[in-house]
Amino acid sequence: MWNSGLILLAGLVASVVSEPIPSQARQTAAPTTATTTGGVTPKATSTVPSPVQEGIIDTCTDYYKALDGDDCWKITARFGFTLAEFIQWNPAVDKTCAGFWLGYYYCVAIPGRPTSTIATGPAPTATVIEGTSYPLPPSATGTGSTPKCNTWYVMKFGNTCDLITNQFGITKTQLNLWNSDIDINCSNLWAGNSLCISSPVDKSYWSPLGCYTDSSSRALTKQIIFPDQNTVMTPKLCQDACGAAGYKYAGVEYAHQCWCGNTIDNNHGPATSGCTAACPGEPLITCGGDDRLNIYQNEKYADLGCFSDSSTARTLRTQIIIPDQNSILTREICQNACDKEGFLYSGVEYAHQCWCDQQLHGALATGGCTSPCAGDASQMCGGSDRLNVMKKPQSRTMGCYPSPPLNKTLQYRVVIPNEETLMTPDLCRTTCRSKGFVYSGVESGSQCYCDDRINPDSTPGSGCIDACPGGTSMNCGGNYRITIHSL
């Protein structure tokens, strides 16, 4: 586990001590005399202080002015309420805290809730979310940084995404998942700001299964209702909700409905047509139709169990050395390291070792995987001559699509060194996944494209006849033809 207060690496901070809250930042909405709270005397006022954002709750009894270095999570930790309450009282902040502005006053107390107090000593260095304590960032963060962060890194001048991911043994997919405001070119990194570089938040990979029939006898039986779903629904919104509830399948229907399930029921199956309703939250993507569901399947690494291992008979035969693995290794870090090298299996051993292979060479053990992972004591990372082995989800071939030059089926061209001699569908897929994309495609034998969606103007066809120069039984597209895979 990470150690509070410990400097793990240069610029790597597990927690930080903050200054006490300045008294001039606090205002209490009291129409009469000033009162003293927690040793600080707020200014008495009969009106809402200025400036505030629109929509602030009108029953607020206590206000706080956001100062340099503040963010949503620091305020909730200081005043002892939840992030959900803060957003409910200050709706303009938005659930991602993208609307949080310095210099503005925010509601920090309402009637019926005890008035919060400000400590006269140092401010809290951690926040508790769903029963787990996480360190607060030591400096300003982007609006997309997850508060569920185990370790923060303070960026330095000249840092790039490649430098950061290589230094800490994480993928760009993870970096973007934990800091979702980073743009596709990684051009908006700012020296002095904090990035999350270790988090339990894991990305679920959802494979599109296609258009399915539906009726009053449901294909997926659990419906999840969203506020404003008629205007905000997207497949990702539904996927996230179904995944959080533990379901294997997510489906969108009638443009705005979200359905979940662990099986596809009542003899429903693929439909030849009908998924034509535009998603209100992303109109370029379809969200089912009348009695039609666009269904997605949640793909996760399969935990294959505990395997025997030895120095003379390796279950997985390629070891990957990860920087600072003795203190940071988790199953996810090893999975991503193996995935970056194109391996199917990953395994963790002796709490801090990472092993990879394309096939298994050992057998299941009856026990012995009892070593907590160096970077997360809640996980087991093998033991003495014992490996916890995982298998990555397999890609799905979506088919051969036309790819005209002015209206590409996948939009983002990724140039891979020596692609003219090395290209395979798996090389392209691994590259796209490392950049956080859902779909990959190879065109003209050696050109790799990535995207989070397939251009809706494009439909499967033929013509993917070019051999892959890197050697595989699969084809690598053709002349203005692209072979597409998910995951």
Burial 310-332 (b: 16+ CB within 10 A, else e): eeeebbbeeebebebbeebbbbb
pLDDT for res 429: 84
Q: Using only C-alpha atoms, what is the Rg of the chain?
A: 25
Q: How far apart are CA 82 and CA 371, in angstroms?
A: 34
CA distance 459 to 463: 13
Q: What pTM was estimated for this model as a whole?
A: 0.41
Print the SS3 string covering the chain.
Answer: CCCCCCEEECCEECCCCECCCCHHHEEECCCCCCCCECCECCEECCCCCCCECCCCCCCCCEEEECCCCCCHHHHHHHHCCCHHHHHHHCHHHCCCCCCCCCCCEEEEECCCCCCCCCCCCCECCEEEECCEEEECCCCCECCCECCCCCEEEECCCCCCHHHHHHHHCCCHHHHHHHECCCCCCCCCCCCCCEEEEECCCCCCEEEEEEEEECCCCCCCCEEECCCCHHHHCCHHHHHHHHHHCCCCEEEEECCCEEEEECCCCCCCCECCCCCCCEECCEEEEECCECCEEEEEEEECCEEEEEEECCCCCCCCCEEECCCCHHHHCCHHHHHHHHHHCCCCEEEEECCCEEEEECCCCCCECCCCCCCEECCEEEEECCECCEEEEEECCCCEEEEEEECCCCCCCCCEEECCCCHHHHCCHHHHHHHHHHCCCCEEEEECCCEEEEECCCCCCCCCCCCCCCECCCCCCCECCECCEEEEEEC
What is the pLDDT, as a whole number, of residue 244?
A: 63
d(CA 403, CA 478) in angstroms, rounded, equals 9
Cα(196)–Cα(13) distance, integer angstroms: 10
Whole-number pLDDT of residue 487: 66
Q: Each residue of 436-480: pLDDT tens digit? A: 577 899 999 999 998 877 887 888 889 999 999 988 777 899 999
- Could you say which residues of the chain have pLDDT below 50? 1-24, 26, 28-46, 115-120
Phi-psi bin for 473: left (phi > 0), alpha (psi -120 to 50), beta? alpha
Distance CA 388, CA 354 (A): 10
CA-to-CA distance for 83 and 96, rounded, in angstroms?
10
- At residue 290, the pLDDT reads 96
* Beta partners for residue 319, in sequence order: 355
The rounded distance, in Å, linking the Cα atoms of 184 and 78 is: 34
| pLDDT of res. 206 | 75
Give pLDDT, residue 212.
Answer: 94
Domain boundary assignment for the chain? 18-124, 205-297, 302-391, 396-486
Please tell me the distance from the alpha carbon of residue 423 to that of residue 442, in angstroms, as a whole number. Answer: 8
Tens of pLDDT, residues 203-231: 566 777 889 999 999 999 999 888 788 99
β-sheet bridge partners, residue 145: 179
Residues with Cβ within 8 Å of residue 282, at least 6 apart in sequence = 234, 235
Residue 15's pLDDT is what? 27
Note whether 320 and 367 are within 8 A (CB).
Answer: no
Q: What's the one-letter identity of residue 480?
A: Y
- Determine the pLDDT at residue 201: 63
Q: Which pLDDT score, from 0 to 100, does residue 210 have?
A: 82
